[in-house]
Structure 1
Amino acid sequence: MDITIKNSQLTATIKSLGAELCSLKDKSEREYIWEGDPKFWGKHSPILFPIVGALAHDSYTLDNKIYHMSRHGFAREMMFEIKEHKEDQVILSLQSSEETFKLYPFEFELQISYTVNNNSLSIEYKVINNSKVDLPFSIGAHPAFALPSAFESYCVKFEKQELLKYFLLKDNLISDETENLELENKELRLNYDLFKNDALVFKTMQSKSLTILENEVPFLKVDFNDFPSLGLWTKLDAPFLCIEPWFGYSDTKECNGNLYEKEGIIVLKNDAVFHAQFTIEILK
């Protein structure tokens, strides 16, 4: 089921499967979200929960029992219920069930809110711990932005001038190898060679917003002040760029398999509620 929200400036479409944003258009009908062509990547903007990235051996241990979970968790493959739907906002909910207990033995509710306001779309994550124990989880976004012109005609402008350190992935896990990216006037010019070793994973950075420029003209901005980590990703010759605000990332090679001790994990107390939000702003 597709759900539409809109105002005078923007129209957003969200799938109930995975609560996934699949379209964001301005009043001129320009599409800003990747179409999901499986030739390159069949997703648009999946929700990453209750892990971001991959677990070592796709598994973790809890109370001496081994649980298996694939990369980026299960929320993106599950049907969400509509909790509230207004013209300019929709709130979707995923609750723990017998199906989720097989992968993740905790009681929770995950709410995803989409709200259009002027020329911006805000996406809010809300995690409610309904368990009697602390809830360990990671959560993240994976929006792919459509880049219809030549890939090299785009650049990403960071909020701050900084020397960026990213961690290399090996077998989908965070290795101890790093490389540095130097910005020129806060800008990173895009080319596919940047992504020859998969995603660029930044555990921390000073910048909390990124702007995509098309032929030197800013057209889209992502603000992620609540999020500590970030990924940038595309595939060879694919006409999109993913800007991915995260809490957490793939296991490191040194991980011990204990989810509570996983690097970057959030541990939410019983009956507590977690909130985080990021915003996509259309600039043209």
Structure 2
Amino acid sequence: MNTTISNSTLSASIKHSGAELFSLKNNQNKEFIWEGNPDFWGKHSPVLFPIVGTLKNNLYTINGVEYQLPRHGFARDMEFQLIEKNENSAVFSLQSNEETLKKYPFQFELQLSYTLNDTTLDIEYKVINKGETKMPFSIGAHPAVALPEAFENYAFEFEKKEVLKYYLLENDLISNKTKVLETSDNLVPLSYKLFENDALIFKTLESNSLTILENSKPYIKVAFEDFPSLGIWTKDKAPFICIEPWLGYSDTAENSGDLLKKEGILILDSSQIFQAKFSIQIL
């Protein structure tokens, strides 16, 4: 089941499965979200919850009890309920249930709100701790922007001039090895070679936004002020790029497994509500 919202400039379509954005078009019917061809990658913009990235051995502990969670958690594979809808916005909800409690022993509600404002799609996350104990979690986005021209025709421009230090992955875990993303006049030309070791993981950035340029002209801007970390990823020869605002990231090889002590984890008190928002602007 799908829901579509629209205004005079854009339309966005969201699957109820995973509350996943799968289409963002302008009023000339141009598509800006990756089509999800499984030959490359069969998703479009999954929500990452209650973890981001990969746990060491896909395991974690809470109060000495061991649980298993797949990469990026379970929310992306679950059915959300549409709880609010008008012409230019929609709100989806996922509640903890018998299935989630086996993997993640916390009572929660996760809401995703999609709102169109002129040429911008705002995507807001709301996490509610409905239990009586502290709830550790991470949350992140994974939108894949369609790149209809040759990959090398695109470049990044970060909001601020800064040292773009990123961490390398080893066996899907964050290593201690880092590299610096080279820039030219604050631009990073795209090439598949950048991603030969998987995603670029930025634990911290000064920039609150990143603009994709197509043939040196602004194409799409992703703003992520509420998200301190960022992943950037594609697959070899794939005509898309994922710009991934994160609160949290993969384990390191040295991680203890205790989710409450995980690097980058958020802790939500009982009855507390957490909110964060990012946006995709068509330029």
Could you tell me the TM-score, scaled by structure 1's length? 0.99
Deviation at residue 182 of structure 1 after TM alignment: 2.3
Tell me which residue corresponds to 2:250: 250
1:139-184 deviation line (CA, Å, top 9, x unaligned) = 0000000001000000011101111110000010000111111221
Residue aligning to 2:210: 210
Q: Which residue of 2 aligns with 1:141?
A: 141
Please name the residue that 1:273 is paired with: 273
Aligned residues of 1:173 and 1:252 also touching (Cα < 8 A): yes
Q: Show CA shifts across 1:215-250 (max 9, x none).
A: 011011001001000000000000000000000000
Q: Give matches, 1:183-198, under 5 Å.
A: 183-198=183-198
2:228 paired residue number: 228
C-alpha distance in 2 between matches for 1:243 and 1:176: 22
Q: In 2, are the aligned partners of 1:162 and 1:183 still within 8 Å (CA)?
A: no
Amino acid at match of 2:101: F
1:275 positional shift: 0.4
Range with bigger deviation, 58-67 or 244-253: 58-67
Instruction: Give the aligned residue type for 2:80.
Output: F
Corresponding position of 1:70: 70
State the Cα distance separating 1:185 from its structure 2 match: 1.5
Distance 1:171 1:130 in 2: 35
Per the alignment, residue 102 of structure 1 pairs with 102
What does residue 263 of structure 1 align with? 263
| SS at structure 1 position matched to 2:149 | coil
- Alpha-carbon distance in structure 2 between the residues aligned to 1:243 and 1:181: 15
Can you list the C-alpha shifts for 1:48-77, whole angstroms capped at 9, x where unaligned? 000000000001011221100000000000
Q: What pairs up with 1:79-90 in 2 under 5 angstroms?
A: 79-90=79-90
* 8 A contact 1:163–1:183 mirrored in 2: no
Structure 1 unaligned blocks of 5 or more? none
2:236 aligns to what SS in structure 1?
coil
| Maintained 8 Å contact 1:152/1:189 | yes
- In the alignment, the residues of structure 2 paired with residue 231 and residue 63 of structure 1 have an alpha-carbon distance, to the nearest angstrom, of 30
Give SS of 1:47's match. coil
Aligned to 2:161: 161
Structure 1 residue 186 displacement after superposition: 1.4
What is the number of equivalent residue pairs in this alignment? 283
Contact 1:18 1:75 in 2 (8 A): yes
Q: How does 1:39-78 map to 2 (within 5 A)?
A: 39-78=39-78
1:211 and 1:164 mapped to 2: Cα distance? 15
Q: Tell me how far apart the structure 2 counterparts of residues 183 and 122 of structure 1 sit (CA, whole Å).
A: 28
In the TM superposition, what whole-angstrom CA distance separates every residue of 1:70-113 from its partner, at most 9, and x where no partner exists? 00000000000011011100000000000000000000000000
Runs of 4+ with >4 A deviation: none
Distance 1:252 1:208 in 2: 25
Q: Which residue of 1 aligns with 2:16?
A: 16
Offset, 1:273: 0.4
Is the 1:159–1:209 Cα contact (8 Å) retained in structure 2? yes
- 2: CA distance between counterparts of 1:33 and 1:238? 13
